[in-house]
Amino acid sequence: MAKKLYYMVAKDLLSECRALRTWPAMLLLGVVVAMMFAMQMDLPPERQRQIAGSLLWLTIFFAGSLALDRSFAAEREEGCWEGLFCYPVSPTAVYLGKLFVNVVALTALECVLIPLFAILTDVPLLAHPVPIIAIAMLGNLGLAAVGTLLSAVANGAPACGSRQSSYLLPLLVLPAVIPLVLGAAEATRLAIEHDFSTDWWRWMQLLACFAVVFVTAGIVLFEFAIED
Amino acid sequence: MSEIALRRSIYDYLPQWVAAPMVATAIVAIFLVAPTEATMGDAQRIVYIHVSVAWTALASFVIMAASGGMYLVRRNLAWDHWSRAALEIGWLCCTLTLATGSLWAHSAWNTWWTWDPRLTTAFVLWAMYSAALVLRSGIDDPHRRARIGAVVAIVGLLDVPLVIMATRWFRGIHPKSPHMEPTMQAVLATSVVCFTAFFAVLLLMRRGQFQLAEELDDLQEEFAS
């Protein structure tokens, strides 16, 4: 299983490194959206600290949905989808491989966006890096777990090709990840304010719960989502 | 075609004959029996309809996911007819919940909308129903549509408790347990029972339409071949 998973992840990462089809567009979209949000945040510092977390997580969602969509849209081209399921790997390995690649993509996006937000808005996002990294890790896992499953659903939905998936995916994923975006934004706000009371832990528990529920659901339901 | 039409008997219309007077009873109870509330006046009567459609929307969501799960296990399109009918009825009830809730909020809180946990949950539910409707409309193959619809319905149902938790912790001003006098409580209970029966009949009828449409498709394929 571990070896199959390694090959699945290596295939996707190598293909992205060679073609550079998704990540540059995702990073660029993230930077542009962050700039636009920062432009509108001409507010007193305490108000900025209150809304920076929400805007950061919305930017991560919108830019990250490009990577989530491409994780299966790319497979739809030139018969890769059929080829993928001819390999002697279980659907669970395919799901976990895609999930891992999406977590890596979202992490790369956050490595750019979090310092950028800190620079553009003067909000001390990096003053307590460990809690912010913990929020980002749980948030990435939850977002990638739902996004990978629903990307397979959206790409499996149209009778042919993946044209419709680009608009279907945000429609499906955004309502589903509202608790995650809310939890991550609130936990980020409390971390910025250096408030690690029970409230912060409660939001972290919600993020962990979201990740566990949807990674499990993804493993169970992925087989049905890709069946043709 | 005639064979399908002849199968309808007077007993097929029994649910409709039961539900119609029930809705009439609910409307009479809401507008003529329930006393006028001291603070809000007649606007408070919205609550009787609002609670009924909100409950039906949530029940439809559970029916949609449960019958979707049954489809994935049995691979019988009859389960998908239930799921699809529950999706449409649930979407209608959820839209009515948001509309009546907004009218009530304007009268009670002097705002059309607020990010209260239950309002937010209703909105998220509505967004999920709408996305599932759009998704289903793009798929022609009935088994593929049923399979994809079932996965989305189950993901949606798993998400509901998390949405409720997150929005409740976020902020809340919604009345948790309204204090009502006995007549008002009786009217509310009557309204919930009658509207649930009405939407259950709509669900049955819509499921029947899907069943007939499938039979018609099968006949057309048979004649074509």
The DSSP result for A13-78, as a single string, is HHHHHHH--SHHHHHHHHHHHHHHHHHH--S-HHHHHHHHHHHHHHHHHHHHHHHHHHHHHHHHGG
Mean pLDDT across the stretch A161-186? 81
Contact B159 A203 (CB under 8 A): no
Contact B148 A203 (CB under 8 A): no
Residue-averaged pLDDT of chain B: 86
Residues of A in contact with B165 (CB under 8 A): 179, 206
Distance from CA of B111 to the nearest CA of A (A): 23
Tokens of A137: 């890790």
Please write the tens of the pLDDT for every residue from A66-80. 888 888 877 777 677
Looking at the complex, does the CB of residue A221 fall below 8 Å from at least one CB of chain B? yes
Q: Give me the phi and psi of B40, to 5 degrees please.
A: -90, -15
Contact A206 B169 (CB under 8 A): yes
- Quick one: pLDDT band at residue A7, thresholds 50, 70, 90? confident
Distance from CA of A18 to the nearest CA of B (A): 33
Nearest CA in chain A to B143: A228
Reported ipTM: 0.86
Contact B135 A158 (CB under 8 A): no
A-B C-beta contacts closer than 8 Å: 90
Distance from CA of A64 to the nearest CA of B (A): 19
Nearest CA in chain A to B163: A179
Q: How far apart are CA B105 and CA B128, in angstroms?
A: 23
Please write the tens of the pLDDT for every residue from B172-183. 555 555 677 888
Distance from CA of A183 to the nearest CA of B (A): 7
User: Worst-scoring range by mean pLDDT, B53-57, B66-70, B113-117?
Assistant: B113-117
Terminal CA-to-CA distance of chain B, rounded, Å? 17
SS3 assignment, position A122: coil
* pTM for the predicted model, two decimal places: 0.86
Give the residue from B155, B160, B170, B171 with the most A CB atoms within 10 Å of its CB, the best one to mutate: B155
Q: How far apart are CA A96 and CA A37, in angstroms?
A: 33
Please write the tens of the pLDDT for every residue from A88-102. 888 899 999 999 999
